[in-house]
Structure 1
Amino acid sequence: MTNPASSAAPRTQVVDRPDSFTQRFSPTPRGARLARRLTVLQLDRWGVRPGSAVSDRAALVVAELAANAVTHGRVPGRDFELSLVLPHADVLRIEVSDARGERRPPAPGDLGTPCPEDEHGRGLLLVEALADRWTVRERLPVGKTVRAELDLRGRSSTSL
């Protein structure tokens, strides 16, 4: 006999240290919305007020990367993962990982311009405009991670 309380528990583990937050989400529009909302909540815990420029930029970056993970990186039975990290006081690192390593987006700077009639193809343009830096990395054992960084105090040229 199963314990009803244990079956209602989340199936994923949340890693919540003072300088990082990681959680997996179902690869659905609902999972993408939840990732965006939890980003705003976690930033508020770190002292970044909801509605501030940093909070709004981070929420938009997470929304776009999560939507891409759900749309282009979905593998049945595999979740996508969001990580928020403060590697130091001046940078917020956002990472969204999915299990579809063979479908990699263009490199930063190689996005091109979508036709005005295109209904898709603008998400990474928004990420490029909002993030101070972004890149795509291989995720081991399988998949890819799109990493974006937001400078919390002015613009910087440090590398990913």
Structure 2
Amino acid sequence: MFITFPTGARLARRLATHRLHVWGHRYGSETNDAVALVVAELAANSVTHGAVCGRGALLRLSRERDGQIRVEVSDTWGERLPAPAAPDATAVAGWGLMIVAARRGLGVRPLEGAPVETVWACLRPSGAPG
């Protein structure tokens, strides 16, 4: 799915929860809710910080062989993801990546020769071994 506007981040979350529901992780389940939060954070960051006029971001969901669910958001900004660090304790923003990184695998993969980066997170579904 391509994300081009701030409302696209909301749509990305809705489509991701639907896909998880189809895969057997029902709406309201721990896994579905966790994926929704990760998609919301990565998509919102992409729209807010990775937007380049005329270019959108791409959301991908996949089921890995080890049972994990991989969420990827690629945008054309091409900046490196800063190491998630705790913002000032009174800050109302800046906590999302830190929370995702603390609970899930999180990383960045640049596309060589192009101004594209993919931020990804892997989640182990509740009830999955591991």
| Fold equivalence (TM over 0.5) | yes
Q: Is the 8 A contact 1:61 1:130 kept in 2?
A: no
Q: Is the 8 A contact 1:75 1:100 kept in 2?
A: yes
Higher relative contact order (CA 8 A, sep 6+): 2
Q: Which runs of 4+ in 1 moved over 3 A?
A: none
Aligned to 1:57, the other structure's residue is in SS state: helix
1:78 aligns with 2:59: no
Residue among 32, 39, 42 paired with 1:62: 39
Q: TM-score, normalised by structure 1?
A: 0.74
Q: How does 1:16-27 map to 2 (within 5 A)?
A: 23-26=1-4
Task: Give per-residue Cα distances to partners, 1:113-133, cap 9 Å, x unaligned.
Answer: 2102323211101211342x1
For the aligned residue pairs, the C-alpha RMSD in angstroms reads: 1.5
How many pairs align? Answer: 127
Q: 1:57, 1:104 → 2: CA distance?
A: 24
1:50 aligns with 2:23: no
Q: Is the 8 A contact 2:3 2:43 kept in 1?
A: no
- Percent of pairs with identical residues: 44
Q: Is the 8 A contact 1:33 1:63 kept in 2?
A: yes
Unaligned runs of 5+ residues in structure 2 are none
Aligned to 2:47, the other structure's residue is in SS state: helix
Q: 2:23, 2:101 → 1: CA distance?
A: 24
Instruction: State which structure, 1 or 2, has the greater radius of gyration over its C-alpha atoms.
Output: 1
